[in-house]
Each structure stands twice: as structure tokens, then as C-alpha cells.
């Protein structure tokens, strides 16, 4: 099952990355990410601790959201072509929230012989609030 390969020639500035939504994140999802990442900060899985820390409920790890968002660029540009991935954390993601990932290409250039694309990406909750803002850089193969 070969993936659709993205070539430098296929991209133009302004192109949108195929968007997707991860629906209804649950406490169980947070716990699974705790296990896979080793991030056992109780604020993300222990309701009592979350409340004592001034939060209505537990909330998702920022890096979990960053992981969900990373699929956007890996699917588009190819995991092996990724050169840089950057995220800035804005709003928290709570149990029951959905996360929509989208982005667009902002730059296409040849640098030091590499065929480079760069883009801006974001993860938004169901209210349209930005949970994460980010950017990526990838070096693409050429058809030539």
C-alpha cells in the first residue's frame, strides 16, 4: 500500500494541507498518551489533583496535541522528508473537545541544493480556538 508521494513540482505557495479532525478526546486518551510518552504529571489524569491546581477537570498534554497535529505534516510532506517541526501552545484541550488540524504552504524554494517547502499549521478546538500554532519545513524529492 504505497503512499501518495508528494513531489516538489506538485506544490505551490498557498496550497492547503488536507485537514482532518480527531473527535471527542477522552480521559482515557490522555491516559494512553501518559503511558506512551511517560508524562505522568497528575494534572493530566488525576481529577482531584487537577481541581486542587485550579482546573475544572484534567486536560490534554500539550505534547499530545502536538503529536496529533504532527500527522498533518507527516501525511502531507512525508515523514522521512520532514526537517523541522515547531509548535507553540495556546489554549488547553479538555475532555470532550475535538481537535481539527489544518495548514498551508507558505514558502517554496531551493536552498543549498535542497527543494524546500515551509508552512504554517494549527490545531483548533470545536469552537475554533487555537490550541496550537506551529510551522514545518520539509525537503521534497523532485520528479526531474
Partner 1 sequence: MADKSDIGKVGKPITIRIEAGKIREFAKSIKDPNPLYYDENVAKAEIGGVMPPPTFLMTLAHWDEGEGRPHVQMDLRRVLHGEQEFEYLKPVYAGDVLTAVTKVADVYEKTGGRGGTMTFVVMDTEFTNQKGERVAISRGVTIETGQVVAR
Nearest to 99 by CA among 39, 35, 29, 36: 29
Does 63 bind partner 1 (CB under 8 A)? Our answer is: yes
**Closest to 69 in 3D by CA, of 42, 108, 103, 92:** 103
The footprint of partner 1 on residues 8-47 (CB under 8 A) is: 22, 29, 32-33, 35-40
1 contributes a contact to partner 1 by CB under 8 A: yes
Looking at 18, 26, 71, 129, which residue binds partner 1 (CB under 8 A)? 71
Nearer to partner 1, 12 or 54 (CB): 54
Supply the minimum distance, in Å, between the C-beta of residue 79 and partner 1: 6
- Note whether 104 binds partner 1 by CB under 8 A: no
To partner 1, the closest distance from the beta carbon of 134 in angstroms equals: 9
| Residue-wise DSSP of 51-87 | HHTT-SS----HHHHHHHHHHHHHHHH-GGGEEEEEE
**Strand residues in 2-140 grouped as ranges (E):** 16-22, 82-89, 99-111, 114-124, 130-139
Q: Using an 8 Å Cβ cutoff, are 131 and 124 in contact? A: yes
Residues that bind partner 1 (CB under 8 A): 1-3, 22, 29, 32-33, 35-40, 53-55, 62-64, 66-68, 70-71, 73-75, 78-80, 82-89
Amino acid at each position: 500500500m504505497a503512499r501518495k508521494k508528494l513531489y516538489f513540482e506538485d506544490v505551490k505557495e498557498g496550497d492547503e494541507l488536507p485537514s482532518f479532525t480527531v473527535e471527542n478526546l477522552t480521559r482515557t486518551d490522555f491516559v494512553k498518551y501518559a503511558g506512551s510518552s511517560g508524562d505522568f504529571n497528575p494534572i493530566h489524569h488525576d481529577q482531584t489533583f487537577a481541581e486542587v491546581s485550579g482546573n475544572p477537570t484534567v486536560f490534554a498534554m500539550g505534547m499530545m496535541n502536538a503529536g496529533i497535529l504532527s500527522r498533518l505534516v507527516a501525511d502531507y510532506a512525508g515523514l522521512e522528508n520532514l526537517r523541522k517541526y515547531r509548535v507553540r501552545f495556546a489554549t488547553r484541550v479538555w475532555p470532550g473537545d475535538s481537535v481539527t488540524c489544518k495548514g498551508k504552504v507558505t514558502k517554496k524554494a531551493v536552498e543549498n541544493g535542497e527543494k524546500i517547502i515551509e508552512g504554517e499549521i494549527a490545531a483548533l478546538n470545536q469552537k475554533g480556538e487555537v490550541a496550537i500554532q506551529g510551522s514545518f519545513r520539509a525537503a521534497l524529492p523532485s520528479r526531474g
